[in-house]
């Protein structure tokens, strides 16, 4: 097996290759003065299974064209099979006609991938579960939700432990805290009966009704943690988001879970609404950090305490901000490749 990377996210490709125990293959990518790309496969790939890692993040057009050229180069070099690892699939939100006269852009890029010689696709957290139906080739659709569930569980336990400490510390009977265990399980009866009980203080939140399926899945992973959804309206022409209704009960601590963050407007709006309804702590989770130009500023200035994204899209230094934490998906992608 050989693994190659386009220019979109070489650090992720390197980490995947490291998990697989194989070096990254050599690809020559030359950019002409007019912006055109010329791609050449250096390694010998005759009769070999080849993996190409290339998220089609902004600039999507450039990264798609580069992926097409790498696939074509591998096919012409005699590769036995070509699997495109596209952690973030560009144009996935253009999967149907919203307004009369619009192109269904996703169908175009799907056809181009297949024509270029790609035999199968590995991707993460598509905007719609129906997207794999657009392809004639096999699509492996994996998710970062288990990684998010693990992190949410970690945050929830830490916050519960802290709240439990505060409950005991405020004990008017002078209990010796040095001899007191603060395990939530060991003292669950006391916490349930206490008006300041941390048990049940967390809720999952979908920032729109379209994410209900996603929020139900992660709720099951977290032992049926309660969830709520925000009802929002987006102007299709301007992209402006308005949200003023929450469906479901909110609690002290909210975990917003989404598939991607683009402008940051949805998250900022959702966070303000949650704060308005009494939520004290807000954590944001999203698989794809699309991050338009002003998104880091909006997210840093939002009501969110922390923003977690994965490395499906490379986040350059200028888009990093203090509240941001990046979770790697290289191991789950490598595990999927191992099955080939």
- 98 falls in which pLDDT band (50, 70, 90)? confident
58-86 confidence digits (pLDDT tens): 999 999 999 999 999 999 999 999 999 99
> 197 versus 89: which is more confidently predicted?
89
248-288 confidence digits (pLDDT tens): 888 999 999 999 999 999 999 999 999 999 999 999 999 99
Domain 2-142, what fold? Rossmann fold (3.40.50)
Residue 200: Cβ within 10 Å count: 12
Which residues is 121 bridged to in the sheet? 84, 139
> 246 versus 308: which is more confidently predicted?
308
Question: CA torsion, points 92, 98, 99, 101, in degrees to nearest 10?
Answer: 40
Given 3-state DSSP classes, what are the helix, strand and coil percentages for the chain, each rounded to the nearest 5?
A: 35, 25, 40
**Which of 79-88, 187-196, 233-242 has the lowest average pLDDT?**
187-196
CB 239 within 8 A of CB 292: no
Q: Where are the domains of the chain?
A: 2-142, 145-327
Q: Calculate the average pLDDT of the chain.
A: 88
Short-list 216, 274, 286, CA closest to 249 = 274
The CATH architecture assigned to 145-327 reads 3-Layer(aba) Sandwich (3.40)
Residue 163 has pLDDT above 70, yes or no: no
Short-list 272, 292, 296, CA closest to 282 = 272
* Whole-structure pTM value: 0.85
Short-list 287, 285, 289, 320, CA closest to 305 = 285
Q: Do domains 2-142 and 145-327 have the same CATH topology?
A: yes
Coil vs helix vs strand at 150 = helix
Q: According to the model, what pLDDT value does residue 208 have?
A: 87
Residue 169 has pLDDT above 60, yes or no: no
Short-list 268, 266, 265, 255, CA closest to 308 = 255
Coil vs helix vs strand at 123 = strand
126-141 confidence digits (pLDDT tens): 999 999 999 999 999 9
Cis-peptide, bond into residue 59, ω within 30° of zero: yes
Any alpha helices (H) in the chain, and if so which ranges? 10-20, 60-76, 105-116, 145-169, 188-193, 212-221, 265-276, 295-300, 330-338
């Amino acid at each position: 097996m050989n693994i190659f990377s386009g220019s979109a996210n070489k650090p992720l490709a390197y980490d995947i290759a490291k998990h697989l125990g194989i070096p990254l293959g050599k690809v020559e990518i030359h950019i002409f003065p007019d912006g055109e790309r010329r791609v050449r496969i250096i390694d010998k790939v005759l009769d070999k299974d080849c993996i190409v890692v290339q998220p089609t993040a902004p600039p999507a057009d450039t990264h798609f064209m580069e992926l097409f050229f790498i696939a074509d180069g591998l096919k012409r070099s005699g590769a036995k099979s070509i699997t495109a690892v596209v952690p973030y699939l560009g144009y996935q939100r253009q999967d149907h006609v919203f307004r009369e006269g619009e192109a269904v852009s996703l169908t175009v890029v799907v056809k181009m991938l297949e024509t270029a010689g790609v035999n199968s696709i590995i991707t993460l957290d598509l905007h719609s579960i129906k997207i794999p139906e657009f392809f004639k080739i096999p699509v492996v659709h994996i998710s970062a939700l288990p990684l998010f569930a693990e992190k949410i569980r970690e945050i929830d336990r830490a916050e519960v432990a802290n709240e439990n400490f505060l409950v005991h510390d405020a004990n008017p009977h002078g209990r010796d805290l040095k001899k007191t265990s603060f395990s939530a399980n060991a003292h669950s009866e006391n916490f349930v009966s206490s008006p300041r009980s941390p048990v049940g203080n967390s809720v999952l939140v979908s920032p729109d009704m379209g994410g209900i399926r996603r929020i139900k899945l992660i709720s099951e992973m977290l032992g049926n943690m309660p969830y709520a959804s925000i009802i929002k309206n987006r102007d299709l022409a301007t992209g402006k988001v308005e949200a003023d209704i929450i469906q479901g009960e909110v609690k002290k601590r909210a975990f917003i879970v989404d598939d991607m963050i683009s402008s940051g407007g949805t998250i900022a709006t959702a966070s303000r609404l949650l704060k308005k309804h009494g939520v004290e702590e807000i954590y944001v989770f999203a698989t794809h950090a699309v991050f338009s130009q002003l998104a880091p500023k909006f997210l840093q200035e939002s009501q969110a305490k922390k923003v977690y994204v994965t490395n499906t899209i490379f986040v350059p230094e200028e888009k990093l901000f203090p509240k941001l934490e990046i979770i790697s998906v290289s191991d789950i992608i490598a595990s999927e490749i191992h099955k080939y």
